A and B are shown apart, each in its own frame.
Chain A
Amino acid sequence: MTVPTTTPSHAAPTPRPPRIDVSPRRLRGARRSRLDMKVSPYLYIAPFFIVFGIFGAYPLLYTAWVALHDWEVGTDNPTYVGLDNFTKILSDSNFWNAVLNTIGIFVISTVPQLLLALVLANALNKKLRGRTLLRMGVLIPNITSVAAVAIVFSQLYSRDFGLINWVLGFFGIGPYEWQAYKWSSWVAISTMVDWRWIGYNALIYLASMQSIPRDIYESAALDGASPSKQFWRITIPMLKPTIIFTVIISTIGGLQLYAEPLLFNGGASAFLGGSMRQSQTVTMYLMEQFYGRFQFGDMATVAWLLFLLILIFSAVNYAITSRLESSGKRGGAK
């Protein structure tokens, strides 16, 4: 319970030494402040729920409704089929292939991404020459629009004209078609994702690190702690809420990966993720239902399954991350 506020309810209007100009209407002030304490939290969080309630909840429910129907785009009579769509999708090997691709790309891109972002933020936190410019420099990838990035990376990974194959050529490695194989397309897409998001996450960590007071580090250094020990024992535990934040955000974003693999594959049916669905993610599979097969019902079903997938993964990742830090590290002040 918070410390009771300024005035006891029965106080007579005895003048007190004014700290900040507090109005003499103390009784009303007291009631107002109790009302304020009770109501303001709800007022403050209301805007989100109002906006979501109107523009988020209705589409959600509508999509759930669609998922229960065999509903082709443009048809006048969708047929109610209950959970049949779910059974159908869950027994489609292409769906599970997409799930595998999504999780695979997610793991090999996110884990190094966040670690590198931490290291980078730590480095950027130090005194550097031209540090403003450098800090701004790492965010440039995130400013560049996805389409521009995709064009550039497609050029880089292009089989005939790409820079990467050109360099590999010097080592005698034949021109590689990166889109053709599962592992190579995963790696290529991960580099695109990482390139884009490392700086972003680094900046989030940096803003956080900057509120860690320097004297903690100093006293630790005086105690003989090496920089790496300081990093693991002070910085990371104190960043725990932020780390959890980035892990969850990355999970949510990573499992919905769509633009990068889509543009990487290119061509007329890019949402198929390659000639053998090498890099088709769940979202691309979702789009295939809608744009490729014109099945509104199936699309809605996949959307809900994706939602479930994200929920599960976020919960798992949250559990892992919060456990990792909680070795009772009360690092320092607070």
Chain B
Amino acid sequence: MNKRRRDLFAASPLTFLMIVLTVVLSIFPLYYMVVIATRTNDTIGTTPPPLTPGSNLGDNLGRLLANENAAFMTGMINSAVISLTLTVSVVFFSTLAGFAFAKLRFVGRNKLMLSILVTMMVPAQLGVVPLYMMMAKLEWANHLQSVIIPFLVNGFGVFMMRQYVSQSVPDELIEAARVDGCNTFRTYWNVVLPALRPAIAVLALFTFMAQWNEFFWASLAMGDPSNPTVQISLQHLSTGYYNDYAQVFAGTMLSILPLLAVFVLFGRQIIGGIMEGALKA
């Protein structure tokens, strides 16, 4: 019986293999990028393609940082500011709203939630041109406000948090908090938020990633090449008449480092056993 119990939560060798394979496939393109970033530009497009890293990274990075058209460091800094700000605001407002929709009762709750869902279905390109016109009128175009303010809170975050709260925070917990004298905000802050830790980690990670990688709106609103986001800066590198892929991928490598850092930071939250999380009963 004991052996069976142990086996229940262990992974079979087959499962392990499958996961490893998945991870290898997931990482391969990134690895390929590293290969190109550390070689010279001519090695791309040879058959078979090169599969081992070279030694040109310093060279490629040098050209990247000297490239005035790309303003790469400015791009990195801008993106860092944008992503950090939005991560904080989105997590905060989404958990707040998600909590309200999931656990608080009020008139119009379901209809309002549905309306938020509907707003999520609006295609991204639909309002782009008028929104740009707004930015131009407010004189926010090419400034960070244009990529921050309209995105302080979004339906995705609210929806996600609502689902998590309804799934992971039992009603009894809320009621216990009330009985103990917490007002709504205290309930949210002291009871709900801790229970949401894995979900918050995921949302924070996703928001940071999404904002870091965001390109379409930024290319419109922050089109001035002297004040780009990191993705725009990469775009300027990679769509030139002269495709210096080695430089582009060196830049991409650099641009991924902050993401990886955030990843490591929040990844532990998701991964480190959350057994103690929700049901502190």
Chain A residues engaging chain B, CB cutoff 8 angstroms: 1-3, 5-6, 19-20, 22, 32-33, 36-38, 40-42, 44-45, 47-49, 51-52, 54-56, 58-60, 62-63, 120, 123-124, 126-129, 131-132, 134-149, 151-153, 155, 160-161, 163, 166, 195, 198-200, 203-204, 206-208, 210-211, 213-214, 217-218, 221, 227, 238-239, 241-242, 244-245, 248-249, 252, 256, 258-259, 283, 286-287, 296, 299-300, 303-304, 306-307, 310-311, 314, 334
Contact = CB atoms under 8 A, between A and B. Distances in A.
B49 A128 contact: no
B240 interface: no
Interface in B62-111: 93, 96-97, 99-101, 104-106, 109
Interface in B153-202: 153-156, 158-160, 163-164, 166-168, 170, 175, 178-185, 188, 198-199, 201-202
A63 B178 contact: no
B163 A241 contact: yes
A208 B164 contact: yes
A163 B44 CA distance: 12
Chain A CB within 10 Å — which of B11, B100, B116, B158 has the most? B11
B11 A59 contact: no
Q: Helix, strand, loop or mixed for chain B's interface?
A: helix
Contacts of A124: 19
B263 A127 contact: no
B126 A37 contact: no
B123 A310 contact: yes
B30 A45 contact: no
B49 A56 contact: no
B93 A123 contact: no
A120 B19 contact: yes
A58 B130 contact: yes
Given A38-B106, A51-B153, A147-B234, A138 B22 contact: yes
Contacts of A20: 180-182
A252 B279 CA distance: 33
Contacts of B136: none
A307 B122 contact: yes
A49 B33 CA distance: 41
B277 A210 contact: yes
Nearest to B237: A147
A42 B273 CA distance: 35
A303 B122 CA distance: 8
Contacts of A227: 8
B93 A245 contact: no
Contacts of B183: 32-33, 36, 40
A241 B178 contact: no
B213 A59 contact: no
Contacts of B144: none
What 6 A-B pairs are tightest by C-beta distance, nearest first?
A59-B127, A137-B23, A55-B150, A62-B130, A59-B130, A303-B126
Contact of B263 (A36, A37, A139, A306): A139
B271 A131 contact: yes
Nearest to B210: A142
Given A211-B278, A303-B123, A137 B26 contact: yes
Chain B CB within 10 Å — which of A33, A211, A238, A258 has the most? A211
A207 B127 contact: no
B121 A36 contact: no
Chain B CB within 10 Å — which of A40, A163, A198 has the most? A40
Contacts of A152: 29, 32-33
Contacts of A311: 118, 121
Contacts of B33: 144, 148, 152
B263 A211 contact: no
Contacts of A203: 202, 270
B30 A210 contact: no
Contact of A51 (B10, B18, B152, B163): B152
Given A126-B15, A195-B25, 20 more contacts: A2-B178, A41-B105, A47-B152, A51-B149, A55-B134, A59-B128, A126-B10, A129-B16, A138-B23, A147-B231, A147-B235, A161-B47, A163-B49, A210-B275, A241-B167, A258-B125, A286-B123, A287-B125, A303-B125, A334-B170
A241 B168 CA distance: 10
Contact of A218 (B8, B182, B263): B8
Contacts of A198: 22
B130 A134 contact: no
Contact of A120 (B22, B181, B263): B22
Contacts of B206: 200
B168 to A, nearest CB: 4
